[in-house]
């Protein structure tokens, strides 16, 4: 892992693969969280170069120890776009994130040079508010996407998501008996680490196919 200083804070770089990946954290975890570090480490064993970063509000949490909610998503879009400009990564590039980070990636991908976006646990709706959907922009998107989702995710379960009728260029991969954090329920046949490894395999297959289709 290599630390890189940018105008948007510190960025952690993993691996040296041909496909550049920018990976954003969820609303309550920073880039040093075990989940983020595990994903980056496993991805670095594939043909990826992975960049982890933190939104400004999370940098303040890490510096002060005082929890605070994320700001309006438009501010996070601005920060993600600013980081991409600062890194100036060439194609092939894919962007994504965990939960909140993936939502922001999906909102900005059409304004970037990224070939597509991916989500590890997309927040289809706030917890306990399944009527408040976050899918409208997905229905009108053009670039390919990949969503790896726990089948028992409280922010978008298997039964719920099937009813959203997402476009064909957004691929769904399901993790049986996993929640939003890819943690297994008691009856699950595999662990969180195995779920992360499977997720990275799904991303690898999707990313290579996406690059192939782009003729890069």
- The domain that contains 167 carries what CATH number? 3.40.50.1820
* Residue 188 confidence (pLDDT): 66
**Residue 160 φ then ψ, to 5°:** -70, -50
Q: Which residues of 185-196 are buried (b: 16+ CB within 10 A; e: fewer)?
A: eeebeeebeebb
* Residue 55 confidence (pLDDT): 97
Q: What is the DSSP letter of 23?
A: E
Which residues form the domain of 194?
2-214
* Residue 215 confidence (pLDDT): 78
* 186 contacts: CB under 8 Å, gap ≥ 6: none
Total tally of structural domains belonging to the chain: 1
Which residues does the chain have with pLDDT short of 70? 187-188, 216
pTM: 0.95
* Residue 187 confidence (pLDDT): 65
* Residue 5 confidence (pLDDT): 79
Contact present, 25 and 119 (Cβ < 8 Å): no
């Amino acid at each position: 892992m290599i630390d890189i200083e940018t105008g948007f804070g510190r960025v952690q770089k993993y691996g040296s693969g041909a496909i550049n990946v920018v990976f954003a954290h969820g609303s309550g975890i920073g880039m040093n969280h075990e989940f983020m570090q595990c994903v980056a480490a496993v991805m670095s064993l594939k043909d990826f170069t992975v960049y982890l970063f933190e939104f400004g509000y999370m940098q303040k949490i890490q510096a002060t120890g005082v929890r605070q909610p994320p700001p309006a998503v438009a501010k996070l879009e601005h920060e993600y776009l600013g980081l991409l400009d600062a890194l100036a990564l060439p194609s092939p590039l894919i962007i994504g994130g965990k939960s909140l980070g993936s939502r922001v990636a999906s909102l900005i991908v059409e304004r970037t040079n990224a070939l597509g976006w991916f989500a590890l646990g997309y927040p289809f709706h706030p917890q306990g508010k399944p009527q408040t959907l976050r899918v409208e922009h997905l229905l009108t998107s053009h670039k390919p996407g990949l969503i790896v989702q726990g089948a028992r995710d409280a922010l978008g379960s298997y039964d719920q998501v099937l009813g959203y009728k997402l476009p064909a260029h957004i691929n769904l991969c399901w993790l049986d008996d996993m929640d939003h954090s890819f943690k297994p329920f008691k009856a699950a046949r595999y662990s969180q680490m195995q779920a992360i490894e499977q997720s990275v395999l799904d991303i690898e297959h999707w990313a290579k196919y996406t690059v192939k289709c782009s003729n890069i």
